[in-house]
Structure 1
Amino acid sequence: MVSLSTLDYILIIAFFAITLSIGVFVSKKAGKNSSEFFLSGKTMPWWLLGVSMVATTFSTDTPNLVTDIVRTNGVSGNWVWWAFLITGLLTVFVYAKLWRKSNVNTDLEFYEFRYGGKPATFLRKFRAIYLGVIFNVITMSAVTLAAIKIGGIMLGLEPWQTVVSAGLITVVFSALGGFKGVVYTDFILFFVAMGGAIGAAYYLVNLPEVGGIEAIMTDENVIDKLSILPDFSDKNALITLFIIPLAVQWWSSWYPGAEPGGGGYIAQRMLAAKDENHAIGATFFFNIMHYALRPWPWILVALASLVVFPDLASIQEAFPNITDDKLGHDLAYSAMLTKLPSGLLGLVLASLIAAYMSTISTQLNWGSSYIVYDFYKQQINPKASEKRLVAVGRLSTVMLMIISALLALLLQNALQLFELLLVFGAGTGLIFILRWFWWRINAWSEITAMFASGIISILLKLTPLGDYLFKSEDSVFENYFEYPFVVFVTTIIWLIATYVTQPESKEVLQDFYRKIQPGGPGWEKIISEANADGVNLKTTEEKWSVPSGIGAMLIGCLFIYSCMFATGYWIYGNYNFAIGLTISALLSGFFLKIIWKRIKSTIL
């Protein structure tokens, strides 16, 4: 437990005061109508939305998760989430403009726009609860669990004390300010959070007991954790940490913040943008910051923690008040923060509070938008006034916070939840990619995939079937086949369901194409049928933009990965690799700029 100085308290209290002031300031306009409360009137600029996306994904559980990964699997273990860059850049260069063209209020409203009839209505209603409540609550619980561990390690707080103190301010702010309050505050939270993370990394790496970056590089507990790429001679690590994420995971799994085809709170921000160009700019800025610049302060603290706390026993010895059910490698990040000096400690605590509030407030507003637009207004009270919709939004915000806080008290570590969410959404991602470009995808495709993925995951995680197939000494498959197995079986099931059920009606498909203009060979049949009926669905003669979007995605990946790894090798002192990757980043950035201009010109 640390002792906070007067300066630390001043920094933390000032941060709370500024945050709540913004919420109160925008509360009147946010309560004007539901569009203002959830999308800020769809007038937001790219830079504000981009910063908000970065701030939202910088939650209290993220440094804990990265620390857990680095201590368990080394730096290369981060490929389990680095691979999602491919998804992110496809959203930038292919899906962002499609989402903005749809002009829906939530990404779930898309279902009754792309599909028709009772299946579409059911899908929208069910996913409003499935994502807005169940998935959302699990995600918020992971963030709150991280806050509990930080409060326990650094301040000696009981779990319930952390939940009440952190949650109360956040839920009041979120209920008052709505989306605009979230985005405005995110702008401040981002700089506070990044300043705290970088300041903490610099100080902790240079602690006397750590000895600086050179000492870390040669420490026996660290040296086998440094590689950015997994050990290619270790088949299990290579397949689990590198091949599966890059070959399967990025396109097949629905994961909050990295949804194939865009979705969730990323879609919410794209829908709130001024226009399609601002939607693209926001998501591109987010991906650069999220992958290229932000991970290294956390990674450095994780590596330094291996010097000070080489194993769980050393953490347990240093912090005996932590109960066994909360003990894990993710605690090492908070443990290292206890060594910060006055002033910097206050800044870092404020940054962690900022990270917590940013993520939770976004999740609350996003989840509440599903409950209001896609469940309450659609199923319970279609004639509800705007005032009533805002009131329901504020009430659901409070309820989501309470449920997630209660669940957080039962959980143990962040990596446990990350893996659960990945497997639970396995096999559904391909539908979210294809539904824009293949007419044959229907509502039953999504319904089947969603239930198949969930049921298979439950059977593998909670019954002896998982042990029999993957985890016992006599298992049928190697343990790393579990995720691809779920993807393969789920995909086969939803493809069968697609072909044995009726396609969407001609009217639904033609209306969708007319508004979105997705293009591509997957819609040729619908266009031909429309032409035969004397209906022209094409409102533009421009070439199909997806091939150039995929090209931009590939060059963008090269650019961002080069930036990310060049930063790492500069830190490591491996200057040959660092110089080569820096040149790669400059060249790919140059070519990306040329392609970017072409893409923008097709939208204007």
Structure 2
Amino acid sequence: MLDLVLVLAFIAYSVSAGLRARKVASRDLGEFFLAGRTLRGWQAGASMAATQFAADTPLLVTGLVAAGGLSRLWLLWSYGLSFLLLAYVFAGPWRRARVLTDAELVELRYGGRGALALRACKALYYGGVLNGAALAMVVVGAVRFTEVFLPWHAWLPEAWFSPVVALVRAFGGQFVAISGAAPDVAGADALISLVVLLGFTALYSLTGGLRAVVATDVVQLAIMLIGTALYAGAVLAAVGGPGDITAALVAGHGEAQATAWLSLWPGDAFAPALLVVLVLPWLFQASADGTGYLAQRCMACSDEVEARRSGLVFAWLQIVIRSVPWVITALGLLVLLPPGPGPVDVAAREQTFVQGIDLLLSPGARGLMLVAMLAALASTIDTHLNWGASYWSHDVYGRLWCEALRKRKPSGRELVWVARAANVALLLVALILAARIGSIQAAWHVSLLFGAGIGAVLILRWLWERINLWSEFAAIAVSLVLAPTLLAWSDDAHWRLAVMAVVSTLVTTIVALCTAPADPASLLEFYRRARPLGFWARTAAAAGDDPRAPRRALARALGHVVRDGLALYLALYGSIRLLFPLPAGGRVGAIAALAVSGALVLWSLRSRVE
């Protein structure tokens, strides 16, 4: 009963947040999608972190650790550099550009013929393909935990449940059933759970817009951090402590395997891929410059200082604060629910995160953890709905359909209603895709590959004035054509990623050099509004600025990224190694890493104050 009370309280708060913000959010798209540009940096950063604290991510972490040890988590941790680049290089220009969506930036950046077509293309690609895939992975994560805690087939009368089973059979989709139920029964359970969960999430997202999303995200993040900390504590209590986890891994699987699980440095077959892991995923990705909901949060901040602060808050929450309890839980579950002999069943190991909640937590703590998982789901779904709908309403319907084709200006309230309809459509797409995803990890690798093809051009368009719209068209084409080919030819995710990144960068650069530059007037307008960093000498001179100023600003920003990156990763390394030293190692290095990280943080804070 206590579990149910906590869940209902969470649902009531979320829905009320949407209703409270409904009136102001209905005025126009600026209020609905950017909260009137009034967010503080800590609010935007916490909302970013809540969005990526998805229901599927702790399951993904559990599967990655079981399959290859802590070193596999660099696939996630490497993105900290991207978050710091967002803070110091891109957040300010995003806020200064004063656009409503990242797709709208295309017309400001390039101008001339073809810009509208590229804007529409990017809106469809991000709002449809990439956003739908991301939502589908979150939905799969939700299914992993609802099938344990929400067995509708045992609760509902047969007359109510049978039509849902028939619908699942007719649909042909099949969710992975770890609970032992028949696939169509598990699918019916999942469908009912998702309709309920996604329904209440859509309710406050549809009504309150970004204001409601951020208001709920902040509370949801706090719940998620508290819940996962309690879960990690329960795991430690069940095993005996961090030292007992290490000892149990050695005793149960041998020192070599225990070291492989605990090592933060890739070894064996994974070692040659280290450069790929540490460089390519965070640099060559679909949101390399913040494109998507990260840019949306920056654009919604009250000024560029708050936008920069949001990126820094996000980086620390994402890489250090949320990672430590997940690492404790993933390693503890290897002891409490040990994997069997032979290759690791990734989907089954992902599910152990949910099984551990049911096994280890008392009713009150389990209820809090259930709310935390619901919050993780809701905070990701609401962002993807709000952000994805911005493309369909503002770029596709408003700019392309109404203004370009119908030659009329749509009203603000009309666009808000289109945005709400787009939310419903996105939910249906996510459900269809989720029914065909096996493991979260496999789907995640596919999404990385598609995103890698457009990462380079997203960064270069801010840093190099020579990039034009044909470069962006070429990058999208490379991604759409080469990704399916690489998926058919190779099972090596790192090799595929490297090939995609190299080919995409070469094609982007060659196209930029072999085609006409962007319209000079558009470049000048973009430079004056956004003040980008990097290689903008000609445009800066045309604006009356020192041609060397953008390059110097970029050099300073990259220096800040290096300094804060060292602080971030030393704190991460020190925290994990202090808890879990290697079987043959000690804790001296961990203490030194934490001390250096603290000194770098103080330096960073002092420089910002000065």
TM-score for both structures, normalised by structure 2: 0.87
Q: Which one of 259, 267, 271 corresponds to residue 238 of structure 1?
A: 271
Are 1:212 and 2:241 an aligned pair? yes
Residues 400-446 of structure 1: CA deviation (Å, up to 9, x unaligned) = 11211222122111111110111112142121112112111000101
Over residues 163-188 of structure 1, what are the superposed CA-to-partner deviations in whole Å (9 max), with x where a residue is unaligned? 11211111112111111000011111
2:337 pairs with 1:309: yes
Corresponding position: 1:249 with 2:281: yes
| Residues 594, 440 of structure 1: alpha-carbon distance in 2 compared, 3 angstrom cutoff | same
* C-alpha spacing 1:266/1:312, structure 2 compared with 1 (3 Å): farther
The 8 Å contact of residues 312 and 327 in structure 1, kept in 2 or not, is answered as: no
Query: Is 2:134 the partner of 1:108?
Result: no
1:441-480 matches, within 5 Å, as 441-461=467-487, 463=488, 466-467=489-490, 480=494
Look up the match of 1:283: 311
Larger deviation, residues 584-593 vs 219-228: 219-228
Which residue, 217, 222, 228 being the options, matches 1:186? Answer: 217
Aligned to 1:403, which of 400, 422, 429? 429
Confirm or deny: 8 A CA contact 2:262 2:580 kept in the other structure. Answer: no
Determine what percentage of the aligned residue pairs are the same residue.
Answer: 30
Cα distance in 2 between the residues matched to 1:481 and 1:402 = 33
Partner of 2:328: 300
State the AA in 2 paired with 1:331: Q
Using the TM superposition, give the Cα deviation of residue 39 of structure 1 relative to its aligned residue in structure 2, in angstroms. 0.5
In the other structure, the counterpart of 1:591 is 603
Give the letter for the 1:298 counterpart.
W
- Residue 314 of structure 1 and its aligned partner are, at CA, apart by 12
Structure 2 equivalent of residue 267 of structure 1: 295
Root-mean-square deviation over aligned CA pairs = 2.3
d(CA) in 2 for partners of 1:28, 1:87: 36
Partner of 2:156: none
- Aligned-pair distance for 1:74? 0.4
Partner of 1:425, secondary structure, is helix
Question: Aligned residue for 2:175?
Answer: none
Per-residue deviation, 1:591: 2.1
1:429 to 2:455 alignment: yes
Aligned to 2:80: 85
Q: Residues 157-168 of structure 1 correspond to what in structure 2 (within 5 A)?
A: 157=152, 158-168=189-199
Query: Residue 564 of structure 2 is aligned with which of 540, 550, 556?
Result: 556
Q: Which moved more, 1:511-520 or 1:410-419?
A: 511-520
Residue by residue over 1:300-332, the C-alpha shift from the partner in whole angstroms, topping out at 9 and shown as x without a partner, is 11112212322269999xxxxxxx9x9432111
Find the partner of 1:547 among 537, 552, 555: 555
For residues 188-208 of structure 1, give each alpha carbon's deviation from its aligned partner in whole angstroms, at most 9, with x where no partner exists.
10111111111011112222x
Shift of 1:542: 8.9
Change over 3 Å in CA distance of 1:313–1:111 after alignment to 2: same
The structure-2 alpha-carbon separation of the partners of 1:315 and 1:503, relative to structure 1 and needing over 3 Å to count, comes to: closer
Name the residue aligned to 1:352: 373
Q: How many residues align?
A: 558
Cα displacement (A) at 1:225: 4.2
Q: Tell me, yes or no, if structure 1 residue 223 matches structure 2 residue 258.
A: yes
Question: CA separation in 2, counterparts of 1:84 and 1:243?
Answer: 14
Q: Structure 1 residues 588-597 or 398-407, which shifts more? A: 588-597
Distance 1:567 1:71, change over 3 A: same
Contact 2:63 2:347 (C-alpha < 8 Å) held by counterparts = no
The question of 1:97 aligning with 2:111 is answered no
**Structure 1 contact 517–539 (Cα < 8 Å) conserved:** no
Cα distance in structure 1, aligned partners of 2:141 and 2:340: 17
Amino acid at match of 1:510: L
What letter is aligned with 1:216?
Answer: I
- Is residue 100 of structure 2 the alignment partner of residue 71 of structure 1? no
Q: Residue 399 of structure 2 aligns with which residue?
A: 378
Amino acid in the other structure paired with 1:245 = V
Q: 1:241-264 CA deviation, whole Å, 9 max, x = no partner? A: x3212233321222xxxx222221
* Contact 2:298/2:310 (8 A) holds in 1: yes
2:507 corresponds to:
493
Q: Residues of 1 paired with 2:29 and 2:588: CA distance?
A: 54
CA offsets per residue over residues 214-265 of structure 1, 9 Å max, x none? 2210223471344342344x2x21133x3212233321222xxxx2222210
The one-letter code of the counterpart of 2:532 is P
Structure 2 residue 330 is the aligned partner of structure 1 residue 330: no
Q: Secondary structure at the match of 1:230?
A: coil
What secondary structure does 1:411 align onto? coil
Whole-angstrom CA distance in 1 between matches of 2:533 and 2:30 = 30
| Per-residue deviation, 1:107 | 1.3
For residues 452 and 42 of structure 2, what CA distance do their matches in structure 1 show?
32
**Residue identity matched to 1:246:** L
Residue 541 of structure 1: how far off its partner (Å) = 7.2
Counterparts in 2 of 1:231 and 1:113: CA distance versus 1, 3 Å? closer
Q: Would you say the 8 A contact 2:537–2:547 is kept in 1?
A: no
3-state SS in 2 of match to 1:274: coil
TM-score, structure 1 length as denominator? 0.88
Secondary structure of the corresponding residue to residue 349 of structure 2: coil
Q: Distance in 2 between matches of 1:225 and 1:310?
A: 15
Q: Deviations over 1:338-391 (max 9, x none)?
A: 112110000000010011001000100000011111111111113110110111
Asked whether the 8 Å contact 1:337–1:345 carries over to 2, the reply is yes
Deviations, residues 447-468 of structure 1 (Å, cap 9, x unaligned): 101111221111121x3xx14x
The answer (yes or no) to whether the contact 2:2–2:367 under 8 Å persists in 1 is yes
Assess if the C-alpha contact under 8 Å between 1:23 and 1:174 holds in 2: yes
2:226 corresponds to which residue? 195
3-state SS of paired residue (1:117)? coil
Contact 1:510 1:537 in 2 (8 A): no
The answer to whether 1:156 aligns with 2:151 is yes
Contact 1:552 1:595 in 2 (8 A): no
User: Which 5+ residue runs of structure 1 have no aligned equivalent?
Assistant: 1-5, 317-323, 472-477, 599-604
